[in-house]
Amino acid sequence: MLRQSYPDITLEVAVSNQLFSLAKREADVAIRPSLAPPETLVGRRIGTIAQAIYTRRNELSPNATSTEGTSAHDWIGPDERLAYRALETWMTDQGHDARCHYRVDTLLGMQAAVRDGIGRAALPCYLGDADETLTRVGEPIPKLATDLWLLTHPDLRRVARIRALLDFVANKVNAKGARLLGDT
């Protein structure tokens, strides 16, 4: 749809855990989860990413409606390359870290491991809810809610192609709203 409205804009998209530097012009625009984006960048908060516990669909008992008793299960967690401190801290505080026998460097890897029945994991609701092989265990976890930011370098904020992309992405995310981000 962006291409139809702006045929002269060429997109080069990198989906990665690597943080590209907007200050060094390694990227013009970033969509980043963050509670506090760097003050050197400009942008807007476009939503909140809700997160919850997920298990493989056929492994949840019919009467399970909460996260009660989840510490008795094997867990999947982030490894150090994912650099997901909030999840690491939450897992430790909940006692899940002691049962975490599988660590992965991407959220998609964590999702695939849950799908394969390796254990439970806290995943963004936009991933877990959209996966028909997974079941959410309980409500989203407030401590893991993360703002989603659309950011650019201050020098680029008035460049027409950057402004067009920023507005397009923000409008699409706002239009998808709760379904995209997993808000309840």
CATH number of 164's domain? 3.40.190.10
Query: Which class for 98: exposed (0-12), middle (13-18), buried (19 or more C-beta within 10 A)?
Result: exposed
Amino acid at 150: L
The range of the structural domain enclosing residue 20 comes to 2-48+146-181
Residues 121 and 162 in one domain: no
Among 61-65, 98-102, 179-183, name the most confident range. Answer: 98-102
Q: In this structure, are residues 73 and 119 in contact, taking their beta carbons and an 8 Å threshold?
A: yes
In whole angstroms, what is the distance from residue 27 CA to residue 24 CA? 8
Which pLDDT score, from 0 to 100, does residue 90 have?
Answer: 94
Residues 56 and 137 in one domain: yes
Residues 18 and 100 in one domain: no
Residues 105 and 171 in one domain: no
Residues 68 and 89 in one domain: yes
Residues 44 and 58 in one domain: no
Between 118 and 1, the higher pLDDT residue: 118
Which pLDDT score, from 0 to 100, does residue 58 have?
Answer: 80
Output the six-digit token pair for 23.
Answer: 């200050």
| Tally of structural domains, the chain | 2
Residues 55 and 92 in one domain: yes
